[in-house]
Structures are given as structure tokens and as C-alpha cells.
Amino acid sequence: EADIYQTPRYLVIGTGKKITLECSQTMGHDKMYWYQQDPGMELHLIHYSYGVNSTEKGDLSSESTVSRIRTEHFPLTLESARPSHTSQYLCASSDAGTSTDTQYFGPGTRLTVL
């Protein structure tokens, strides 16, 4: 079991609310990622980070933002949630020092915006 945690696991909110999805890992990994996954569809990378103060946008355009102030923490924020943001959000981390760079995933946050 990977030591990567996400909170909350489930969230139902109204349109226009600001939310922050938390992700933390205790493995000391430099690389962290946020993915969005809809039912029956592939994971889409929305943000990634190579280390503290490093953040980049992924392949899928997202209105969310991220920050990386500490190695172990990589929160994702939606300033104004909309129904189109309803999805599962998965956080992952990997060790940049390994050749295989296997990503370890958190349990995910299921977000529903009404």
C-alpha cells in the first residue's frame, strides 16, 4: 500500500464554491501529479510538479490551480466549481531517482458539483 493520501474522499458542493483537494505523501517523492478520470475513460494529466516551487500544466486543460510549497504536499484548488468539474481526481507521486519512475496513486477524490 502506497503512503499517499487524499482528502476528502467524496465531496458534493454547489456551483460557484471554492474548493481545495488535499494530497500528501510520506515517501519523500519529488514528482507529484494530478489526474482527472471520468467513468470508463482513461486518466488525463492536469497538473504535475518536479519538486518544491515547481508546477506545470498537464495535457488536459483545467481551470484548477496547484501549489507545491512542501515536498510532501500538493493541493489542487478550484476557485469557482461548476458541474463540468464533476469527476474523480487522482493524485500520484513518483521517485525521480528510479529508472522506472513508477507512479503511486492515492485513493482519489470523487467530486460532484450540483
Partner 1 sequence: KNQVEQSPQSLIILEGKNCTLQCNYTVSPFSNLRWYKQDTGRGPVSLTIMTFSENTKSNGRYTATLDADTKQSSLHITASQLSDSASYICVVSDRGSTLGRLYFGRGTQLTVWP
Instruction: Report the nearest approach of partner 1 to the CB of residue 80 (Å).
Output: 26
55 touches partner 1 by CB under 8 A:
no
Q: Which of 51, 82, 107, 114 binds partner 1 (CB under 8 A)?
A: 107
Q: Which of 11, 13, 45, 52 binds partner 1 (CB under 8 A)?
A: 45
Q: Phi and psi at residue 84, in whole multiples of 5°?
A: -65, -15
103 touches partner 1 by CB under 8 A:
yes
Distances, alpha carbon 52 to alpha carbons 46, 56, 57, 88, 109, in Å: 18, 12, 15, 25, 23
